[in-house]
Amino acid sequence: MKWFDKFFENKTRHIARTSSRRSFLSNVGKAVVGVSVIPALPVAKAASGGAPAGAHYPGVSPQTSGSDGDPGDPTTCEYWRYCGIDGFLCSCCGGTQSACPPGTEMSPITWIGTCLNPADNKHYIISYNDCCGKAACGRCFCNRNEDDTPMYRAFSNNDTNWCVGASSETYVCSTAVILGTSIDS
């Protein structure tokens, strides 16, 4: 046990020799300022004037299944828009593939993917929005990781809880809103 005591005594004495009260207070000050800046990071909380619940992107109308160029069943994981989704499908939870269920709100922060529409063989830009508010739906879980990227490219990663931008951080389900066609199409 003597070596254990000697080790920590040496470390403590080293810290005492190489630091001062001023440097300690300086580091504490830096930590306090750093922590206080976190709420100012670029995350627009919905409660502070963000998009209202059920809002859509300007110039983008909600899509419905069965219309021209939108084949498939939006309540299945194989639906073409869900190529990059990870979560419960809102179309099984009282919403649609592009609208949140009643009593929830769409997070203004999203992840983006491109999916191939088999009807017209074009790639579409899809915005995957989490719906937030009440308890998780728990139905129709779908995890397709096509074009998913590592966490250092968060805007293309589907493993993040994107409800941090909503007034409630409770995840309910995910939507797949068409933003437009890809340039490569």
For 89-95, what is the mean pLDDT? 90
What is the structure's pLDDT at 39? 58
Highest-confidence segment of 122-126, 149-153, 160-164, 165-169: 122-126
Handedness of CA 175, 44, 158, 114 (dihedral sign): positive
What is the structure's pLDDT at 32? 84
What is the structure's pLDDT at 66? 46
- Cα–Cα–Cα angle for 58, 72, 83, nearest 5°? 65
Regarding pTM above 0.75, the answer is: no
Q: Could you confirm whether domain 86-181 is CATH 2.60.30.10?
A: yes
For 65-74, what is the mean pLDDT? 65
> Is-catalytic flag, 120?
no
> Is-catalytic flag, 111?
yes
Q: Which long-range contacts (CB under 8 A, 24 or more apart) does 72-81 make?
A: 72/118, 75/140, 76/140, 77/140, 77/142, 77/143, 77/144, 79/176, 80/115, 80/116, 80/117, 80/118, 81/115, 81/124, 81/126, 81/176, 81/178
For 88-98, what is the mean pLDDT? 90
Q: Which residue is catalytic, options 70, 130, 148, 162? A: 130
| Lowest-confidence segment of 50-64, 86-100, 143-157 by average pLDDT | 50-64
Domain boundaries, the chain: 86-181
CB–CB of 109/50 below 8 Å?
Answer: no
What is the structure's pLDDT at 169? 85
Q: Which residue is catalytic, options 70, 86, 111, 162? A: 111
What is the structure's pLDDT at 49? 40
Buried b / exposed e over 64-95, threshold 16 CB at 10 Å, is ebeeeebebebbeeebbbbbbbbbbbbbbbbb
The fraction of the chain above a pLDDT of 70, given in percent, is 72
What is the structure's pLDDT at 157? 53
